[in-house]
Amino acid sequence: MPVNTESYQQLISQECMKNVQLVAVSKTKPNEDIMSLYQLGQRDFGENYVQELVDKAASLPSDIHWHFIGHLQSNKVKYIAPFVHLIHGVDSEKLLIEINKQAQKNNRVIDVLLQVHIATEETKFGFDEMALLELIGSDRIAQYTHVKIRGLMGMASFSDDQKLIQKEFFSLKTIYNKCAQSLLLPAFDILSMGMSSDYSLAIEHGSTLVRVGSLLFGARDYKKESI
Ligand SMILES: *Cc1c(COP(=O)(O)O)cnc(C)c1O
């Protein structure tokens, strides 16, 4: 199925999207699909798999902002550190330390989001609230001079239960507000929450960035996914 440029136009013209950043999630999708949205002006794309991201970045226009939104293994940070725009899924201090190290090697400061575990499912990654507040309140943060913690990212439960999803978004926004008060995080301004099925609910609950895939690119071929 080709990329749905009509859905794209419709999405970006919605009132609720006015002050919200759109990351088009292009995992498993071919370069032609990315170029279709690029030609309409889209510059922010999200990928979940390191090798796929590296290949795409090498063959697509250099003014694309690449977001890494998947689960990132420490030993793979080095492959994306030279060019990645924002890493959404930082779910451990160990990973933060590795990103800091690879950023330094590349003479860069890499923007990151800390992932918070808000879903009821065990399968999703992320800090719990206590661990997160401990980390961002600690003076260890000051040593990580080559990462900039820009905000938080979370994924709601995979569920049709709107009440449950709302509750999870509300809880992430509450944690976000607490973190935003920290003097140790001067550049804290991104709340990445919401996907194809729940982006408008996420925006109602304070999301500043939505990650939308299947609504724009059609359903994915799950055989190609390795989560
Ligand atoms: C795949 C993915 C998305 C996009 O999901 P859709 O339901 O296709 O919009 C968003 N965020 C993350 C972390 C993902 O892995």
Pocket flag, ligand 1, residue 5 (CB < 6 Å)? no
Q: How far is CA 213 from CA 29, 33, 118, 154, in A?
A: 10, 11, 20, 16
pLDDT, one tens digit per residue, over 60-97 is 999 999 999 999 999 999 999 999 999 999 999 999 99
- Pocket probe for ligand 1: among 8, 23, 25, 48, the residue whose CB has the most ligand atoms within 8 Å is 25
- Count up the domains in the chain and report the number: 1
Q: Which atom of ligand 1 is nearest to the CA of 27?
A: 1
pLDDT, one tens digit per residue, over 13-53 is 999 999 999 999 999 999 999 999 999 999 999 999 999 99
The pLDDT assigned to 227 comes to: 44
What is the pTM for the complete model shown? 0.95
The pLDDT assigned to 143 comes to: 95
- Pocket probe for ligand 1: among 195, 197, 209, 212, the residue whose CB has the most ligand atoms within 8 Å is 195
Cα separation, 69 vs 30, in Å, equals: 18
* Residue 4: band (very low, low, confident or very high) from pLDDT cuts 50, 70, 90: confident
| CATH at 168 | 3.20.20.10
The pLDDT assigned to 225 comes to: 55
Tell me which residue range forms the domain holding 95.
Answer: 5-225
Question: What's the mean per-residue pLDDT of the chain?
Answer: 94
2-6, 73-77, 137-141, 197-201: least confidently modelled range:
2-6
